[in-house]
């Protein structure tokens, strides 16, 4: 199963070579009953480590994320879902631009993914409700939720409540008005992205 997932990651990434904020695959092959991926070397640290080590204003973080958001739109336009966006899967390069990495949970077709196509491994703090449900319908909204959860965590310093724990009485705290130097519409956009029901 792991080898199949690894080969699938290589195939998916090979279709995204022209997208700037996505890690590039230079080659991939199978030999000795093992799969290999030759990838671009991304020199930098994860976004989570970067934010922890630097005092970064929320507004600046939003600006840094802009190009990655645009790239994610292009990823979806090419028929790919990442399905595991988190602060650990975004790298900050030496020039402070971002790269989206780890497409191991990706699917190469944007569709209402069901059953066996569901993501088995995902970061629960950043995963939407449909990834917990074997009948859950996945699409671009799945990545929107994870990206919004990532932004929520990085601008507030608080991990979002797991989506599965938010069913019934929603305990997710809204982004505070006082502490964050974000515009009201930016806070609303992040909170809207964290709505449990995709529709």
- Catalytic annotation, residues: 84
DSSP labels, 38-52: EE----EEEHHHHHH
Instruction: Please state, in angstroms and rounded to a whole number, the distance separating the CA atoms of residues 122 and 128.
Output: 10
Closest CA to 4 of 40, 33, 27: 33
Cα→Cα distances 178→66, 156, 174, 175, Å: 24, 11, 12, 9
* Contact indicator for 80, 140 with CB cutoff of 8 Å: no
In DSSP terms, 29 is beta-bridged to 36
């Amino acid at each position: 199963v792991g080898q199949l997932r690894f080969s699938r990651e290589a195939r998916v990434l090979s279709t995204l070579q022209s997208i700037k904020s996505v890690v590039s695959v230079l080659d991939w092959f199978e030999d000795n009953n093992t799969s290999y991926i030759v990838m671009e070397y991304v020199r930098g640290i994860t976004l989570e480590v970067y934010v922890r080590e630097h005092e970064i204003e929320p507004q600046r973080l939003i600006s840094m994320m802009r190009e990655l958001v645009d790239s994610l739109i292009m990823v979806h336009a090419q028929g790919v879902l990442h399905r595991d966006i988190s602060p650990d899967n975004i790298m900050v390069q030496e020039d402070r631009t971002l790269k989206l990495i780890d497409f191991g949970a990706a699917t190469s077709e944007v569709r209402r993914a069901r059953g066996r196509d569901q993501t088995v491994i995902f970061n629960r703090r950043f995963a939407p409700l449909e990834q917990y449900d074997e009948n859950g319908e996945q699409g671009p909204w799945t990545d929107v939720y994870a990206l919004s959860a990532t932004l929520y965590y990085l601008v507030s310093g608080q991990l979002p409540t797991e989506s599965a724990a938010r069913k019934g009485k929603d305990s997710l705290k809204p982004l505070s008005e006082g502490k964050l130097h974000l515009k009201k519409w930016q806070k609303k956009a992040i909170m809207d992205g964290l709505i449990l029901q995709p529709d």
